[in-house]
Every structure is written in structure tokens, then in C-alpha cells.
């Protein structure tokens, strides 16, 4: 009979290391699941109490959803208003990969219809006519609509202990004036998009969702100034939150620029074509913005690309002027430079300023 030989014991250090790794991973996993549950449940509770309105019904010729990746891209159209007056509109384009978020800034006076109707004119009749106008302008389906009341938004800013934008520290009391004091409608729309972007970045800072008291203040404040469409269900919100892989520091800003006419802002045709193509291919985050516009990413860097074609103006607009990304007005130039990969750092502190110098950056 062979003697029973006990297996050799693992070294004390190796055994403790393995056990610590297993326990640590388990605790971390549980913590992430619990945290995610709290985060999603709290937002779901807030969404349940939000004011809701009917979404845009289908109509003949309405754009269809774009699906290139596993999921379809999602477009949220956010109307920023003060009372019943539209200040700006922002399309939040979430890619099908759920890794890219781009904020498209639409001026309130953007001429979006063949009859010369502007977004503000359409919005005066209600958000749904304005939504349909945006769909016709961009060729993209607006999956959901939201209304953000500027006056109530101050409570969100205060809940975040303020926002830092363009070398300014904004409080709830000054956030609205930062938007309304803009010198042009295109600049106002860019400031609206920047407020939304910086709000998301600040919400993630200083502990983010781990800072539960602040998180609760912000969520409660949003409930007081946000209206969403009835199609944006709690399940849809939770699904997007769980799937999202967006790094907020990389959220892009795409300003819709153009010429100022008596009717309003007429979008630069090349820039508008690039926007439509980016939305249609679910590649807006990496698309080149053509013409006089620029794509802002990573803080305040503005990516600009020009074409070798000159920008043509409608014949009915002989006195139109170019509205640039920092609201500087100048006679409409002929754009003759080839595509570049340069970036500008605009000064958007509320005063018109000359275009800043060009610096080379890499994305």
C-alpha cells in the first residue's frame, strides 16, 4: 500500500495574492453593478417625472434611421428656449458605436425652408413643425426631441457649483446672460452647445455619480427645466446609458455657419452638404467640415477644413456677410485653400474678435 502524500502547499505570498485578486475583482464588480443600478434607477426616476409631449409623427418622405454599426445612430434635437422664444437648437448625434457624440449648433434664425422660414418662425408654432424643418434641412431623422428652458437651467448650473467656459466662471444667474448676450444668432447657438457640453463634463468631474448629493441636485434640477417626447421611454434611456462609451472630453461641436441675410442665416452650402453626408453615413464625428465652418473637439480646438471651391451666395442676397465661428463678421471671401488638418483656438468671451492664429494639432 502506497503512503498517502499530501499535495504541496502553495506559498503563503502566492496564495494571498491570488485570493486578494479574486476578492478585489469580485468587490469591484459588485460595486460597479450597484453604482450603475443607482445611476440608472435615479435617472429613470427623474425621467418618469419629466414633462412629456408627443413626438413627431411619420410623414411622407421622412428620413429613415441610419444604421451602420450594431446599433442605429440616434439624433436628439434639443430646443433651448426662453419663455416661448427659441434661442438656439442643438442636435446631439450619438453614433451607432455609442463611442462618439457630436453637438450640432443650429442658429435660431437659420433659414431652413424654401419659403424663407426660419427655425424660430417654425418653433413659434410648436416644436414639432421646427423638428420637421430640421429633418428637411439635414436629411436626417430626429429620433427624439427635448425642450430645455433657459431660465430653469440656472438651477442645473448651480447644482454643479458653476461652469468654466471661455475663461469665465458661470453661475446659474449668469448662464442665461452668457447665452443671450451673444452678438449673433450663430454665436448664440454655439454657446448653447458649449453650455450643454460643459454641463456634461462638469457632471462627470469631482466624483461624478459617486458624488451622490451633487448628482441628486443636478438630476432634480433637470427635472424642472427639461421636457422630452413621449417616445423617449425609460427603457430607451436606460439602454443608451448602459451602451454609451462616450468620453466627454471628446464630445464634438459642429457649428452650422453661413451668410447673414435679411431673412436670417443662410447655411454655407458646402458645410451643410458635409453635415448631411456625415449624418447619413453615421460618420459625423470623423467627417471633415467643408467651407467656412469648423469642428470643435477636445476643449476649444476648432478643426477647420476648406475646399478649393469658392463659397457662392444666393443671388437674392447681395449684401450677405460671413458669420464665422467666433461671430466675427467680414465680407464673404472666396475659399481657395485645399483641405488642411489645422485647428484654431477661438476667443468666445462675448466680444467680437479677429480670428486667432492657426496652430497645428493632432486629434
Tell me what the mean pLDDT of segment 108-137 comes to: 93
Per the listing, cell 477644413 goes with 305
- Look at residue 218 in the predicted model and tell me its pLDDT: 82
CA distances from 199 to 157, 163, 194 (A): 7, 7, 8
- Look at residue 230 in the predicted model and tell me its pLDDT: 86
**CB of 320 within 8 A of CB of 330?**
no
- Look at residue 17 in the predicted model and tell me its pLDDT: 57
β-pairing verdict for 101-107 and 252-255: parallel
- CA–CA separation, 46 vs 42, rounded Å? 6
Tell me what the mean pLDDT of segment 57-73 comes to: 92
Going from the N-terminus, what domains does the chain have, and what CATH number goes with each? 51-360 (3.40.630.190)
Residues in the chain: 363
Grid coordinates of 162? 458653476
- CA–CA separation, 229 vs 237, rounded Å? 12
DSSP state of 145: E
pLDDT tens track for 332-362:
333 333 333 333 333 344 333 333 333 333 3
Is the per-residue pLDDT at 302 higher than 50? no
Does the pTM surpass 0.75? The reply is no
The dihedral of CA 316, 318, 321, 322: what is its sign?
positive
- CA–CA separation, 360 vs 343, rounded Å? 6
- CA–CA separation, 230 vs 144, rounded Å? 9
Greater model confidence, 57 or 316 = 57
The dihedral of CA 125, 189, 46, 34: what is its sign?
positive
Mean per-residue pLDDT of the chain: 74
pLDDT tens track for 194-225:
999 998 888 877 666 667 777 778 878 888 88
Other C-beta atoms closer than 10 Å to the C-beta of 26 total: 10
Grid coordinates of 19? 485570493
Other C-beta atoms closer than 10 Å to the C-beta of 322 total: 20
Tell me what the mean pLDDT of segment 182-195 comes to: 95
- CA–CA separation, 180 vs 28, rounded Å? 45
CA 76 to chain centre: 9
Greater model confidence, 229 or 44 = 229
- Look at residue 116 in the predicted model and tell me its pLDDT: 87
- CA–CA separation, 194 vs 233, rounded Å? 26
DSSP state of 105: E
Amino acid at each position: 500500500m502506497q503512503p498517502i502524500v499530501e499535495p504541496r502547499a502553495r506559498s503563503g505570498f502566492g496564495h494571498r495574492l491570488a485570493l486578494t485578486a479574486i476578492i478585489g475583482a469580485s468587490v469591484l464588480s459588485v460595486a460597479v453593478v450597484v453604482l450603475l443600478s443607482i445611476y440608472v434607477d435615479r435617472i429613470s426616476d427623474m425621467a418618469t417625472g419629466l414633462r412629456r409631449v408627443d413626438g413627431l409623427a411619420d410623414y411622407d418622405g421622412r428620413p429613415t434611421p441610419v444604421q451602420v454599426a450594431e446599433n442605429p445612430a440616434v439624433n436628439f434635437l434639443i430646443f433651448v428656449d426662453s419663455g416661448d422664444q427659441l434661442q438656439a437648437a442643438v442636435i446631439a448625434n450619438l453614433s451607432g458605436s455609442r463611442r462618439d457624440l457630436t453637438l450640432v449648433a443650429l442658429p435660431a434664425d437659420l433659414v431652413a425652408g424654401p419659403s424663407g422660414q426660419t427655425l424660430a418662425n417654425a418653433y413659434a408654432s410648436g416644436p414639432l413643425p421646427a423638428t420637421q424643418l430640421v429633418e428637411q434641412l439635414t436629411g436626417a431623422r430626429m429620433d427624439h426631441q427635448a425642450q430645455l428652458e433657459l431660465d430653469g437651467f440656472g438651477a442645473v448650473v448651480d447644482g454643479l457649483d458653476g461652469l468654466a467656459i471661455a475663461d469665465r466662471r458661470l453661475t446659474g444667474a449668469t448662464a442665461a446672460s452668457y447665452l443671450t448676450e451673444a452678438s449673433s444668432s450663430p454665436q448664440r447657438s454655439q454657446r448653447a452647445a458649449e453650455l450643454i457640453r460643459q454641463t456634461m463634463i462638469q457632471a462627470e468631474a469631482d466624483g461624478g455619480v459617486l458624488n451622490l448629493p451633487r448628482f441628486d441636485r443636478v438630476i432634480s434640477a433637470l427635472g424642472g427645466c427639461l421636457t422630452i417626447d413621449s417616445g423617449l421611454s425609460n427603457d430607451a434611456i436606460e439602454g443608451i446609458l448602459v451602451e454609451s462609451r462616450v468620453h466627454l472630453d471628446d464630445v464634438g461641436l459642429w457649428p452650422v455657419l453661413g451668410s447673414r441675410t435679411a431673412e436670417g442665416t443662410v447655411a454655407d452650402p458646402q458645410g451643410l452638404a458635409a453635415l448631411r453626408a456625415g449624418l447619413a453615413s453615421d460618420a459625423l464625428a470623423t467627417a471633415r467640415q467643408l467651407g467656412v465652418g469648423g469642428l470643435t473637439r477636445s476643449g476649444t480646438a476648432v478643426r477647420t477644413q476648406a475646399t478649393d471651391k469658392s463659397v457662392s451666395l444666393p443671388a437674392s442676397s447681395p449684401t450677405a456677410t460671413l458669420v464665422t465661428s467666433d461671430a466675427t463678421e467680414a465680407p464673404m471671401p472666396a475659399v481657395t485653400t485645399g483641405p488642411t488638418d489645422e485647428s484654431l483656438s477661438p476667443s468666445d468671451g462675448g466680444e467680437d474678435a479677429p480670428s486667432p492664429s492657426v496652430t497645428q494639432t493632432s486629434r
